[in-house]
Chains A and B, each alone.
Chain A
Amino acid sequence: NALPQKKTFSVGGVVENKVVSLLLVAEPEGIFAMPDPTVPESDIKALTTLCDLADRELVVNIGWAKHIPGFPSLSLADQMSLLQSGWMEILILRVVFRSLALEDKLVYAEDYIMDEEQSKLAGLLDLNNAILQLVKKYKTMGLEKEEFVVLKAIALANSDSMQIEDSEAVQRLQDVLHGALQDYEATNHPEDPRRAGKLIMTLPLLRQTAARAVQHFCSIKQDGRVPMHKLFLELLEAK
């Protein structure tokens, strides 16, 4: 059950980091939103599509978490606590990474890309603008996939749940992931010794944006006009 040794090795001349490699392999494919073509466009339809997509993404992301080196060694209760705190940050970071190639659009799924007009229609303009602020930050930095996968694992390990039983084990997980990011940057971006720190410094905005998103979807839930699946509801209630 020991955490994997942090080490660097060389594959085909490219220096890689073991933890980063594991996270790259574990990274799930995007899923499709599949909005119902028989239903006319409306705010309710957009929100229903997004909530359904989020529910399915969550299942995928729980499967992903189990592949983070060291995560399965945590107690089941601590695994739950981290996911209950960090799930929305993970969902948002995935949307952000998918959106890096586009201008002012959010790729919720390959078949569900929201521009300003669609955001307005769905009542998500403020939230989507906040997410676009993150996209802009990572675009400026030129966020790489390797950095994205480690940052996402760090966001989960660092989700600051109040219910952690074994905080030393969670700290060890954070240290392994943080070390992996530092090693990656030392090898791949020696010209910018502060790059790992710069990436970590984007996490407060991610936390803040995720909190806004949770708040927004909690009020949508209270309205009761948008159907939501059980896992999504369960995690909204955990907040």
Chain B
Amino acid sequence: KEKHKILHQLLQNSTSPVDL
């Protein structure tokens, strides 16, 4: 998973999903 830093960051930087 170390190799997949950008995907990890993009998923983690998520605020929780917007309240639709």
Interface residues of A (CB under 8 A from B): 22, 25-26, 59, 62-63, 66-67, 72, 76-77, 79-80, 83-84, 230-231, 234-235, 237-238
Contacts and interface: CB of A to CB of B under 8 A. Distances in A.
27 contacts: A25-B20, A26-B20, A59-B10, A62-B7, A62-B10, A63-B10, A63-B14, A66-B14, A67-B17, A67-B20, A72-B16, A72-B17, A76-B8, A76-B11, A80-B1, A80-B4, A80-B7, A80-B8, A83-B7, A83-B11, A84-B4, A84-B7, A231-B6, A234-B3, A234-B6, A237-B3, A238-B4
A137 B11 CA distance: 33
Nearest to B15: A66
Contacts of B17: 66-67, 72
> Taking chain A's interface residues, is the majority helix, strand, or loop, or is none over half, making it mixed?
helix
B4 A234 contact: yes
B3 A235 contact: no
B3 A72 contact: no
A66 B11 contact: yes
